[in-house]
Amino acid sequence: MFEFVEITLFLLLISILFTSQLLHLVDITLDFLGAPSIMDRGRGGMLGRIPRRRNPLFRRRDVSPPNFTTSYEITPEDALEVRDILSEDRNLPPELVDMILEYAEYWACSVAVLDCADRPDGRISIRGGGQGENQFLLRTEPLGLNKWSPLSHDLWKTQSAPKSLEKEYPESNLHEFIEGPVSTLEHPFRKVVFDIVSCDQGWSSHHDDYGTYRNSFTWFDVGLERFDMNNECPPTCSDRQNSDSSSKTANIPTCAIRSVWPPVINDTSNDSAMKYKHELLPTEDHCIQRNKHAEKNMQHHHIEWSWDDNINPELPAANELEEIGRGRSTGNGEFIRNLKFGDMITVWGRARFGGWSNNVQSVKVKLYWAF
């Protein structure tokens, strides 16, 4: 009986100690609106839980792309240190330690931020009906590979060349780019959080749809990239890696990045070339968020995708996702559960048809993984 009371009191103490961390994760809005122009390395579920989630959630050719970099919030070392404190200093069983860390969401975190505050008008405007209606906005660094870094930041800030992925790197080969512990979980990636500040052109001829997400033809898609093991870095490549064994730079060049989605297809106008296949309308499984219809003021959308989400897109529960501007297949958790070490998440801005404009002020992506 005494041991049960002691464990109960200890769990209460742990909850108090983690309160500040939990409040930090909840207070997304205050943190996001004051974020600098950086790119840091850094649950959802049944329909009844949706209202309690944290609000589910190109650049122009004459302007250089906004800068973004990467660093960590909670590092893998932080997570391992806390695990050791709980298991060794307090002699708690591993199952209880896992429960505590999971409840506190004490996970390693990778963050990518695109901030347009330094642009003349403070935004990127993606206009429908032309060649610029599909805009690459940002990518996360390779998930979990905290020892990898690009040599060319110019290449890093732009979309990858449309080439087919021929051979993925085995996970064992990517471990050399991981500093700290390697997760042994089957689904180590727990959650991805998108914060998007944007709006459309502020008007349309469909007055009945004003203030809703119906017939909204400006939106954001999630993409996925991986390294190609068969890549041959040309001598002229600005990200050609140093062959010196003493170099601290990882030896996978940025030009080895290949898009898994959007898919790459043959260009019918040029038999020897490839091109991206961009869908005309939002897809159910990649649409992160539509803009609110004919809303001229910037809107902040906060969207969370979790590994344990289980909303069946074929059931009425998915209707609510569409009502808040999301793809109805983005609540089943499949995207997160299928992530691998080394994957890069991308965000694309879209606009369709003349007169429609996707005005982007900022985009932020946080990816969390456990050990």
| Residue 19 exposure: Cα atoms within 13 Å on the Cβ side | 6
- The predicted pLDDT at position 47 comes to 35
Q: CA 58, 63, 66: angle at the middle one, nearest 5? A: 65
The confidence band for 8, taking pLDDT boundaries of 50, 70 and 90, is: low
- The predicted pLDDT at position 239 comes to 76
Phi and psi angles of residue 14, each rounded to the nearest 5 degrees, phi first:
-60, -40
% helix, strand, coil for the chain, step of 5: 25, 25, 50
Average pLDDT rounded to a whole number, residues 339-348: 97
Does residue 199 belong to any structural domain of this protein? yes
| Among the ranges given (94-108, 190-204, 296-310, 342-356), the one the predictor scored with the smallest mean pLDDT | 94-108
Here the tokens at position 100 are: 């505590």
**pLDDT at 5 > cutoff 90:** no
Does residue 319 belong to any structural domain of this protein? yes
Does residue 242 belong to any structural domain of this protein? no
Does residue 102 belong to any structural domain of this protein? yes
> How far, in Å, CA of 138 to CA of 65, rounded?
10
Does residue 243 belong to any structural domain of this protein? no
Does residue 244 belong to any structural domain of this protein? no
Task: Find the distance separating the first CA and the last CA of the chain, reported in whole Å.
Answer: 32
Q: Which helix (H) or strand (E) holds 40?
A: none
Q: CA 296, 132, 199: angle at the middle one, nearest 5? A: 15
The confidence band for 150, taking pLDDT boundaries of 50, 70 and 90, is: confident
**Is residue 368 classed as helix, strand or coil in its secondary structure?**
strand
Summarize pLDDT for 201-229 with one digit per residue, the tens: 999 999 999 999 999 999 999 999 999 99
Average pLDDT rounded to a whole number, residues 341-350: 97
- The predicted pLDDT at position 14 comes to 55
- Domains of the chain: total: 1
**Is residue 125 classed as helix, strand or coil in its secondary structure?**
strand
Does residue 71 belong to any structural domain of this protein? yes
Does residue 107 belong to any structural domain of this protein? yes
Here the tokens at position 70 are: 């990467």
Average pLDDT rounded to a whole number, residues 323-332: 97
Summarize pLDDT for 163-184 with one digit per residue, the tens: 999 999 999 999 999 887 788 8
| Domain coverage including residue 298 | 2-235+249-369
Distances (CA, A) of 1 to 4, 7, 9, 92, 191: 5, 10, 13, 17, 37
**Is residue 102 classed as helix, strand or coil in its secondary structure?**
helix
